[in-house]
Amino acid sequence: MHREFNTLLIPVESQVRELDGKLLLACTAAEKGFQCIIGSRAHIHFHSSKVNNAVYLAKSMRRFSDRMFKILNGLGHRIVAWDEEALVRLPDQQYYDHRLSPATFKHIDHLFSWGQSDAQVFKQYPHYQNQPVHEVGNPRIDLLRPELRNYFSPERDALIKEYGNYTLINTNFGQVNHFIPNVGTQEANRDKNFNTNTSDTFISQRYSHKQSLFTYFKQLVPYLAESFPDIHFILRPHPSESVDSWQQQLNSLKNVTVCNQGNVIPWIMGARALISNGCTTSIEATILETPTLGYYPIINNIIDDELPKKLCAIADSNESLAEKLSDILKNKAAINANNQSILSHHISSLNGDFSCNKIIKKISENYTNTNYQHKNLFTKFPSKTHNNARTLIKILKSRKTSSRNSVEYHKHRFPTINTEYLNEKISRLNSLTGNFSNIKINKIADDVFTINT
């Protein structure tokens, strides 16, 4: 059999969230004979014109990707996709308008879902193109399973040594406390984040709800710091959030540290408890068996996703949350026995074969002996020209600090890494799995690397 698409383009937008799982995916693919190109999503897009006949693994399908998907197809690449944000999501109609686009969907060959829940949502999308939807889980979840979670042990142990007995507070306020100030406004949320089908009323309600929760969390942290003087509280903003605003707010509290460095998983593993609101970290904490508290001083049944609430012990006030946290710290709180059955509807590959193996198997099966008509230099030329022009525009925009393309924001989402950094991570994977001993890494561009055997 002849595999016609033997290169995988694996873009990473948020390094602290995506890189580790996608590195495992790349190593798994490399051992199956693929050449993988992994790195900064923006820089992989710049580099895509220099690659022939690749499969691009999209992490989202928003309207912002319309142009890039068209370019990728024009360059002769195929696109498969999942949505990193589909696990905790808005109601279906708003989710479709916020996270999916008719133009992007028509370029996608295959969809990978976290589980049954988002697979069903994909298939019910009005612009669904009858692509196969594979319920495979997500590489991020592979690393949470008992077989692999010690991948994060060095960071976990270092955090416990530095902070001792700590509780983690995870926030998710990028809509109202964005790293780029002009993005975190109600007007920006209306103009940039949704297509035209979502009403201004819903967008305003969502913004107001997030703004109110942001205020409640700013009041919660000093209350907890005073109530538990012997506990260190780590407040970890979402990767899209401004760290500075939190530091200014909480700087005077001696037992509170604001930090968003590294992957959140070792922080969860080392914590006595996790406090959050409607965040994927509550699901990750449940899998890792870290007690999780949901702080819901206000509830909007339309905006709030039900999954995190089903997995958390819910507190509706500072006092209630402090009481529940005290029970956890005294080892009086029990983990919900129904959590695994709840999770199984939403996440595949919590046991058995790993998500990475399933994804690579599906790609290998579907891009071997295909009937796709390959592009030649002449037919690729318009898309190469388009991508070069797009790259130039992005580079020019990167000089503006107020732009989503700014150098500062890119470094915030994807701090510079090198081959030594990646090799050390692969060495950990090797020690846990016995695999990947023949993996080779080469840097081919800024924040872009090849992984093969």
pLDDT of 192? 53
pLDDT of 391? 87
pLDDT of 381? 87
DSSP assigned state of 278: S
**What are 4-20's pLDDT values in tens digits?**
789 999 999 999 999 99
pLDDT of 349? 97
Taking residues 216-230, what's their average pLDDT?
Answer: 97
Q: What is the mean pLDDT of the chain?
A: 92
pLDDT of 195? 62
Residues 6+ apart with CB under 8 A from 272: 165, 166, 167, 231, 291, 328, 329
* Interatomic CA distance for residues 236 and 242, integer angstroms: 11
Query: Could you check whether 7-138+349-452 and 149-339 share the same CATH topology?
Result: yes
332 vs 38: which has the higher pLDDT: 38
> Residue 372: pLDDT above 80?
no
Q: Return the amino acid letter for 430.
A: N
Taking residues 239-252, what's their average pLDDT?
Answer: 92
Taking residues 297-305, what's their average pLDDT?
Answer: 92
What is the token pair recorded at 198? 């979502």
**Beta-carbon neighbour count of residue 170 at 10 Å?**
25
> Residue 210: pLDDT above 80?
yes
CB 301 within 8 A of CB 361: no
**What are 160-176's pLDDT values in tens digits?**
999 999 999 999 999 89
> What's the CATH class of domain 7-138+349-452?
alpha beta
Taking residues 208-222, what's their average pLDDT?
Answer: 96
* Interatomic CA distance for residues 296 and 159, integer angstroms: 28
What is the arrangement of strands in the sheet containing 313-315, beginning at the earlier edge strand?
Answer: 256-258, 232-236, 166-170, 274-276, 292-295, 313-315
> Residue 188: pLDDT above 80?
no
pLDDT of 179? 87
> Residue 373: pLDDT above 80?
no
Residues 6+ apart with CB under 8 A from 66: 101, 103, 104
Map tokens 């995988």 to a residue: 8
pLDDT of 197? 63
CA distances from 232 to 221, 263, 270 (A): 11, 19, 12
Whether the full predicted model's pTM is greater than 0.85, yes or no, is yes
> Residue 69: pLDDT above 70?
yes
135 vs 382: which has the higher pLDDT: 135
**Beta-carbon neighbour count of residue 191 at 10 Å?**
10
Q: Is the dihedral of CA 38, 81, 64, 76 positive or negative?
A: positive
**What are 411-431's pLDDT values in tens digits?**
888 999 999 999 999 999 999
What are the b/e assignments for 69-87, b being 16+ CB within 10 Å?
bbbbbbbbbbbbbbbbbbb
pLDDT of 438? 96
pLDDT of 368? 79
Taking residues 336-358, what's their average pLDDT?
Answer: 93
Domain coordinates in residue numbering, the chain = 7-138+349-452, 149-339
Domain 149-339 classified CATH 3.40.50.2000? yes
pLDDT of 191? 47
Residues 6+ apart with CB under 8 A from 266: 152, 153, 154, 155, 156, 159
pLDDT of 87? 96
* Interatomic CA distance for residues 192 and 77, integer angstroms: 27
> Residue 402: pLDDT above 90?
no
Least confident range from 140-149, 237-246, 281-290, 379-388: namely 379-388
Secondary element (H or E) of residue 360 = helix 355-366
337: confidence class by pLDDT, cuts 50, 70, 90: low
Apex CA 318: angle with CA 314 and CA 322, to 5°?
Answer: 75
* Interatomic CA distance for residues 249 and 191, integer angstroms: 29
